[in-house]
Structure 1
Amino acid sequence: MKRIVIFASGNGTNAENLIKFFHNREMASVIQVLTNNPHAKVLDRAKAYKVSGLSFNRVAFTVTDDVLHLLKASKPDLIVLAGFLWKFPQKILNAYPNKVINIHPALLPKYGGKGMYGMRVHEAVVKNKETETGITIHYVNEHYDEGAIIFQAKCHVHETDSAQDVADKIHELEMEHFPKVVEDLLHE
């Protein structure tokens, strides 16, 4: 059985969607959720499905090898960033080449980079009067949102759409496509 570890920083709806999708499946399961926020709702979501949930601080992530050792003990086949806001350390990327992916709420390369996440992205899309936006699932490299693109899905943005309207459309795309793309990657 393939093993998935999820990194998240906040609410955790994408993480929960992945946990539910792979729950009781023979090909893969989410074995752990890791977060840089000890108060993140994602920990409650993981606990509800009896998935291990742990928080860590910046020192454990970037200075020491604590998080890397934790990953090595978990033996993940895929590491999935689902709303994780910190830049991933090179030492973890080196240990798991082409095994760390992220979902971004825009059509990269537009609206990517440091500080472009969540409502900030949707507000920028509306402000710039974009006619379409979407999601991008990509490999993680040493730069924010610059890894090779695996998958994109688009939706229309209407002149009357608010940033919340755009967020709702993006959420639907994430719920529909993210688990399937993860599953396809695990079959490779």
Structure 2
Amino acid sequence: MIRPVGRITCALGCLLSLSPRLLDTGRLPPSSHRAAATAAAATARRGAASTPSFPLAMEAAVAPPALRPGRSLRTNPNPATRPGQTPRPWGLAANPQANAVRCELSRRPEPRVLIRAAAAAQQDAGDAAGAGRRKRLAVFVSGGGSNFRAINEAALGGTVHGDVVALVTDKPGCGGAEHARSNGIPVVVFPKSKSAPEGISVAELLDTLRGYGVDFVLLAGYLKLIPAELIQEYPRSILNIHPSLLPAFGGKGFYGSKVHKAVIASGARYSGPTVHFVDEHYDTGKTLAQRVVPVFADDTPELLAARVLHEEHQVYVEAVAALCEDRIVWREDGVPLIKSRLNSDVYL
């Protein structure tokens, strides 16, 4: 004989096993739905008075059969309601038994938690294997050096797996040079000129960079043309950032506010920074990364410059981080690509 709790469980199990899709498609007539619901409700009313564990049986009926991994099966945790009373079995049991079990829904971590955990694991693996030792960076500036500051802060904060070991400038009194001195970074003046008689020659510059063990050269607002000897010394190892979407609005004479004025005057709808490798000419090296910034109808060069500069600080740091972690690969046609830190099969 089936006990009341068994009847309740079986009735609810039959009712709840009907998927919403099955009911919605009309494969069962509406009268069958009403009949099943009425029968289940009547059975529940008859057994409610004598079955205190009915809510627990209903919970088990609607729970999926998946069990929590690594957890032991638990019996009814509810104590007897009266001294000497035997706890009622509960759960979806095929036959009456003394200790039925409860099926719990497996609780999985949220997707964001999994993504953060995967990112942390990948970063640790990259630091240990792919990135290797911290790379040594030389930054070239001619002005305030806001991109230099962003890169240096990222290096100090651990975002960039490298260290700025030297700053090279053609203007020893510029803001970038002052910031380097205040942070203990050696300042090298290059080239020698009337305004900078303390400047050094190309050969001396190469010797100086070798002495600092420089791995990569980063141009951050440096206005002089890089000598061919330096490019030959550091093949595919010199990056520059330009405040337009190259190849548009690039080349000799396009720097600073001149670029943004030209963009607005042309009627271009978009602008943005470009990170590219350096060759023997101005702004003609292979593009590594870009960011798109909209140009508004009422834009001024100052407003556009501020939005582009904000993107410069982000995209340049990301590109330098990839460079230091050896995540840049070259396509057969000579185009550089950034390999994702999270998935080596994805290129950014």
| TM-score scaled by length of structure 1 | 0.94
Contiguous gaps of at least 5 residues in structure 1: none
Secondary structure of 1:3's partner? strand
Q: Does 1:22 align with 2:155?
A: yes
Instruction: Pick from 306, 318, 329 the counterpart of residue 180 of structure 1.
Output: 318
The 2-side partners of 1:130 and 1:27 are apart by 37
Secondary structure of 2:268's partner? coil
Hey, what does 1:73 align to over in structure 2? 211
Q: Are the equivalent residues in 1 in contact too, given 2:270–2:295 (CA < 8 A)?
A: yes
Hey, what does 2:139 align to over in structure 1? 6
Hey, what does 1:154 align to over in structure 2? 292
The alpha-carbon deviation at position 160 of structure 1 amounts to 0.3
Which AA in structure 2 matches 1:50? Answer: G
The alpha-carbon deviation at position 41 of structure 1 amounts to 0.8
Which of the two has higher C-alpha Rg?
2
Secondary structure of 1:144's partner? coil
Q: Are the equivalent residues in 2 in contact too, given 1:23–1:29 (CA < 8 A)?
A: yes
The 2-side partners of 1:135 and 1:14 are apart by 12
Q: Are the equivalent residues in 1 in contact too, given 2:202–2:229 (CA < 8 A)?
A: no
Hey, what does 2:190 align to over in structure 1? 56
Moved more, 21-30 or 137-146: 21-30
CA RMSD of aligned residues (A): 1.5
The 2-side partners of 1:4 and 1:65 are apart by 19
Secondary structure of 2:184's partner? coil
Contiguous gaps of at least 5 residues in structure 2: 1-133, 194-198, 327-348
Secondary structure of 1:166's partner? helix
Give CA-to-partner distance per residue, 1:18-39, whole Å, 9 cap, x none: 1111015383111111101111
Secondary structure of 1:151's partner? strand
The 2-side partners of 1:64 and 1:172 are apart by 33
The 2-side partners of 1:23 and 1:49 are apart by 11
Aligned residues: 187
Hey, what does 1:131 align to over in structure 2? 269
Higher strand share: 1
Secondary structure of 2:273's partner? strand
Q: Are the equivalent residues in 2 in contact too, given 1:14–1:82 (CA < 8 A)?
A: yes
